[in-house]
């Protein structure tokens, strides 16, 4: 989009599509029906897991649904809770992919309290391999529907769309590369 707006040549390696047609349109609502989803790719980097391991996530968002594929669900997304090789180890080194804060400290210190345990899990716990959310009924994404049989067809359709896009764009994770 920025390159097109500037009149610059778009390198062939780029997989995105310009939004100029949408931005300059006089229409409102869904201007371009082919743009009915967004794919995101996230790699949590930080020396907070053994051997500097990342936490890779791929997701697809449609108008009403969000599907997340956590490619390494056995890893802690926010860093291991007691990673021993942190150069500046000491208090507050748990979950090092999150900056120190009173909220983080409170969640860690009260994680065994039944009133806090659920919040601890949502904020700092491991994530399942797949997550599916109904963005209209649950915009804060608090109820994962991925394991519910009533949503199996939606989960399968979104996963297939995501995998197709990842193959088309030669995503290294779809090829099994770390």
Token couple for 157: 């359709």
Tell me if 119 sits within 8 A of 113, measured CB to CB.
no
> Whole-angstrom Cα distance, residue 107 to residue 56?
24
pLDDT-derived band at 95 (thresholds 50, 70, 90) equals: confident
Instruction: Tell me the pTM.
Output: 0.82
Q: What is the pLDDT of residue 177?
A: 66
Main-chain phi, psi angles of 168, to 5 degrees: -60, -35
Token couple for 117: 């345990």
Residue with tokens 């897991």, as numbered in its chain: 49
Q: What is the pLDDT of residue 68?
A: 98
Note the pLDDT tens digit of each residue in 56-89.
999 999 999 999 999 999 998 988 887 655 454 4
Average pLDDT, the chain: 88
List strands edge to edge, sheet with 65-70.
37-44, 55-62, 65-70, 130-134
Contacts of 124 (CB under 8 A, 6+ apart): 76, 78, 81, 95, 98, 104, 107, 108, 111
């Amino acid at each position: 989009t920025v390159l097109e707006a500037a009149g610059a040549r778009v390198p062939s390696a780029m997989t995105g599509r310009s939004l100029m047609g949408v931005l300059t349109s006089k229409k409102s609502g869904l201007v371009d029906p082919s743009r009915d989803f967004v794919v995101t790719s996230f790699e949590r980097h930080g020396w907070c897991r053994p051997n500097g391991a990342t936490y890779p996530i791929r997701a697809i968002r449609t108008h009403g649904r969000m599907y997340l594929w956590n490619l390494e669900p056995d890893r802690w997304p926010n860093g291991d809770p007691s990673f021993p090789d942190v150069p500046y180890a000491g208090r507050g080194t748990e979950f090092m992919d999150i900056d120190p804060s009173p909220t983080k400290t409170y969640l860690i210190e009260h994680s065994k309290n039944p009133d806090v345990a659920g919040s601890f899990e949502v904020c700092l716990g491991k994530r399942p391999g797949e997550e599916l959310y109904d963005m209209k009924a649950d915009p804060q994404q608090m109820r994962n529907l991925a394991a519910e049989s009533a949503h199996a067809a939606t989960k399968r359709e979104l996963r297939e769309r995501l995998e197709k896009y990842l193959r088309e764009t030669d995503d290294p994770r779809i090829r099994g590369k770390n």
